[in-house]
Chains A and B, each alone.
Chain A
């Protein structure tokens, strides 16, 4: 098979992958470093008959994709830190009302306006807990363009499977870096389409009554079934209720449908883990430097391995515990103050063997930076 080879920015790869996944609707607001996604979709989406709109802000963008999704469209928005903050209330709405949609956050540096053109992975916890109230969420990430493509498609597939918003956390380095992409052939990556109800017109349709497998077949707005969608706690018809039994059932459902399927949702990449004495655990762009260190040190016989997470939430704690069980040390490499570090410490049998190699100054973490931390761990000095 002669695949088309493209040389693209990560943000452009995300656009191509979203179109591959069947994106119909995009609403967004320009913000560095995600703007290229908005710009490219402005031309690419109408070319395939899809709908692009630049909204008045990120709040409106998030709300618009939920509205569009209810009409049966595959919908996405893209933003960065400040815009991601503005979207949180509506992300919670999509969680509660169980509306499939994809939110791309190309992370930039710092809280507030921070460093718009610099890299960071500081929104990992915000992706998990940014919206209020107990809930579960799916968050994916990627370190290279082939994976950006795969994870973008995966984000749509998971959103449709679990009727949930899925957050794709990219970062400035991956978003703006240019590298090769081998464009997958049509149908090469399986696509999961929306599950529509088979209930016929005139028969009572329960939009919020899960099937035995936990899935909720949908009916598009404008179709034969008229029902209510609300962010309030609701019963199987979508009607608001304060009934404690129903409220409890709904809370369990929106959390369990994801937290009980961690192994199905987890995507990781493993490099040289079998005999690894030291395990680097990383994700996103920082995993590139980590992989460089591992490959380089292997040449000198150092038994290093890399566990690269592509699913950040739900956190694959069991897998991390198991893979790290025999390592002498685990070094988490991330561009924040240790957001995934804490999850790894919680997951492993011995948290005292978990260390952090990080940077929070807007610059990228280099293999040398990581190598220096390993030397400290091994008592060799820098």
Chain B
């Protein structure tokens, strides 16, 4: 199928600003799904609120656009109702790590078979540029006019310690490897987390004089390195990308099936 066959043209034009990284993420998600040959009827996309969350409406799957931060809780209900379906949850800074932080760590802890794609652009875009739990220390935002004194979460570390059995990081610059990571995340049996560093030139870029979209993507190119590379040893400030965790662990829905067997046996 062509990429456009996955898009609901009725929904266009999209709401994203020129240069936003979210379109790249959506494009690569579609390509990953196409390569995997998944049926559109077998995919449920559940999202919360924010620029990133709008992906669900734009795509021709079963789509559930929910409340801020609660997408994974809704998704848990959908998955338990239909464990055979693929559940993909596109999320932003707030959905994943602020208002939705609790649902995020608990979904990871249960290791329920859901793919969370976290578009980390270090800012709240939809509401106009406030700092998020992923904003870098010292950066400017409309609610941090003197600089941000919050420390940022490390999504990879958070997901890993919360129990996610697949954890990866990529950037909007690294489109080709992003597709491959998405494929692995979607087919992984268990809770999979993909952090995508994404640029928000309109707010984060402008507020912090980081240049336009191209310059912000170049930053991702220059300041990231493949996991385990020698470059990281020389320059510890480099951000690693790649697959950090990929393990077979008991998946929640599969475990629940065993509970039903036990319960029925005991009747």
Contact = CB atoms under 8 A, between A and B. Distances in A.
Q: Bound pair: A and B?
A: yes
Interface of A: 24-25, 27, 43, 46-47, 49, 51, 53, 55-57, 59-61, 63-73, 75, 89-90, 93, 221-224, 226-232, 237, 239-240
B11 interface: yes
A222 B44 contact: yes
Nearest to B44: A221
Interface in B7-57: 8, 10-11, 40-42, 44, 46, 56-57
A63 B70 contact: yes
A74 to B, nearest CB: 11
14 contacts: A47-B263, A47-B266, A55-B106, A56-B102, A63-B74, A67-B77, A90-B67, A93-B66, A221-B82, A226-B41, A228-B56, A229-B63, A230-B57, A231-B65
B63 A49 contact: no
A66 B74 contact: yes
**Shortest 8 CB-CB distances between A and B: which pairs?**
A67-B77, A71-B81, A64-B77, A46-B263, A63-B73, A60-B73, A68-B77, A230-B65
B1 interface: no
B135 interface: no
Given A67-B64, A222-B82, 20 more contacts: A25-B77, A27-B77, A43-B263, A51-B80, A53-B76, A60-B70, A60-B76, A63-B66, A63-B74, A65-B77, A67-B76, A67-B78, A68-B80, A221-B78, A221-B81, A222-B85, A226-B61, A226-B62, A229-B64, A240-B65
A239 B10 contact: yes
Nearest to B53: A230
Given A51-B81, A221-B62, A64 B73 contact: yes
Contacts, number: 136
Interface residues of B, number: 42
A73 B11 contact: no
B85 to A, nearest CB: 5
Most chain A beta carbons < 10 A, residue from B41, B46, B63, B64: B64
A227 B264 contact: no
A227 B65 CA distance: 11
Interface string B199-241: 0000000000000000000000000000000000000000000
B2 interface: no
Contacts of A27: 76-77
Interface of B: 8, 10-11, 40-42, 44, 46, 56-57, 60-67, 70, 73-82, 84-85, 102-103, 106, 256, 259-260, 262-264, 266-267
Contacts of B66: 63, 66, 93, 230-231
A56 B60 contact: no
A46 B85 contact: no
Contacts of A224: 41
Nearest to A63: B73
Taking each of A66, A72, A75, which has the highest tally of chain B beta carbons within 10 Å of its own beta carbon?
A66
Contacts of B85: 221-222
Contacts of B62: 221-222, 226-227
